[in-house]
Structure 1
Amino acid sequence: MSMTIRRVGDADRAAVWSLLKPVFRAGDTYAIDPEITEADALAYWFGGQVALVAELDGEIVGTAYLRPNAAGGGSHVANAGFVTSSAHRGKGIARRLLDRVLAEATEAGYAAMQFNFVVEANARAVTLWTMSGFSVIGRIPQGFRLPDGTVCDALILHKTL
């Protein structure tokens, strides 16, 4: 198995949407309208500074974006998002994408990276981010409503680069 991480191209739009759609529709990890249109989802995902895809043996199995977390005086802090295909979770794809995004952020001169709204019930993401040196710097009590109606906390994570 050979994995490549590269910048996204126009020809990747359908493959990236095929990754984003089930994650966004599930409504359990991203604070995004589960009924978001394909055009709006791709504009959101590709609207940052960098968008990447992970290819495993020629198949796109993951994607990530990098952008400033805020404008103006907050633009020295990066933000990123990640999605891995359900069939390929647990194979280190998100970790490899994170490593690449952190390298891109460092190269671009960002001083830190912050995740503004990590759903605490998304245990895989919370574990990966904390194992990668991110610290929980804030908690939004009952900040996220899961599809079954229960609520959980949302976390703010930060890492100095």
Structure 2
Amino acid sequence: MLIREATTEDWPAIWPFFHTIAAAGETFTYPLDLSFEDSRAWWLLPEPNRTVVAVDETTGTVLGTAKMNRNHLGNSAHIASASYMVDPAHGGRGVGRALAEYTVDWARRSGYLAMQFNAVVASNEHAVKLYERLGFTVIGTVPDGFRHPVHGYVGLHIMHRTL
């Protein structure tokens, strides 16, 4: 697997799984009806932020993607954040872990002091466990902060890791 900078030419390969994941309403706080153009603008971030794709080196297939950015501006600009999407057709192959490790390394190399995820859906147990294995801890939970389409109202974790 190769992780490389994402380009606008990658968006047609990202869009199908991005749209499926966002429209399902189970793991992201995005509007369920984001358009192709709006989604691209939200995901493909300009410098100094970064968006990458994980690509199968043999086939060139985009397996997943991550975006990395400042969590806040001004006097809180030293905290990074990231978001991840893995094509469900390629889940269970370590793509999410590789992307998460990449973003932590990027944040460290970029001079950030910590990473914080503001909205990790508590019922997304796979993601919570992965982040915990990578050194993140839940520092707070917004009770009933997310309306899950299957589980109803669930907590929305804030997760943090010092770099």
State the 4+ residue runs in structure 1 displaced beyond 3 angstroms: none
Tell me if structure 1 keeps the 8 A contact 2:8–2:44.
no
Please list the CA deviations of residues 79-138 of structure 1 after superposition, one character each: whole Å capped at 9, or x if unmatched: 100000111111100100111111111111000000001000111100100111001001
Please list the CA deviations of residues 43-80 of structure 1 after superposition, one character each: whole Å capped at 9, or x if unmatched: 11112500000011310010000000001011100010
Question: 2:90: which partner in 1?
Answer: 88
Partner SS, residue 34 of structure 1: coil
CA RMSD of aligned residues (A): 1.0
Number of residue pairs aligned between Structure 1 and Structure 2: 159
Tell me if structure 1 keeps the 8 A contact 2:7–2:44.
no
Q: TM-score, normalised by structure 1?
A: 0.95
Looking at structure 2, the residues matched to 45 and 9 of structure 1 have their Cα atoms a distance apart, in angstroms, of 11
Tell me if structure 1 keeps the 8 A contact 2:148–2:154.
yes
Question: 1:20: which partner in 2?
Answer: 18
Question: 1:159: which partner in 2?
Answer: 161
> What are the ranges of 5 or more consecutive residues in structure 1 without an aligned counterpart?
none
1:9 corresponds to 2:7:
yes
> 1:101-112, aligned counterparts within 5 Å?
101-112=103-114
* 1:20 shift after superposition: 0.7
Q: Which moved more, 1:4-13 or 1:40-49?
A: 40-49
Q: Which moved more, 1:114-123 or 1:144-153?
A: 144-153
Partner SS, residue 133 of structure 1: coil
Tell me if structure 2 keeps the 8 A contact 1:19–1:61.
no
1:52 corresponds to 2:52:
yes
> What are the ranges of 5 or more consecutive residues in structure 2 without an aligned counterpart?
none
Q: TM-score, normalised by structure 2?
A: 0.94
Tell me if structure 2 keeps the 8 A contact 1:62–1:94.
yes
Q: Which moved more, 1:135-144 or 1:40-49?
A: 40-49
Question: 1:29: which partner in 2?
Answer: 27
* 1:149 shift after superposition: 6.7
State the identity %. Answer: 36
Partner SS, residue 31 of structure 2: coil
Partner SS, residue 139 of structure 1: strand
Tell me if structure 1 keeps the 8 A contact 2:82–2:103.
yes
AA aligned to 1:38 is F
AA aligned to 1:88 is H
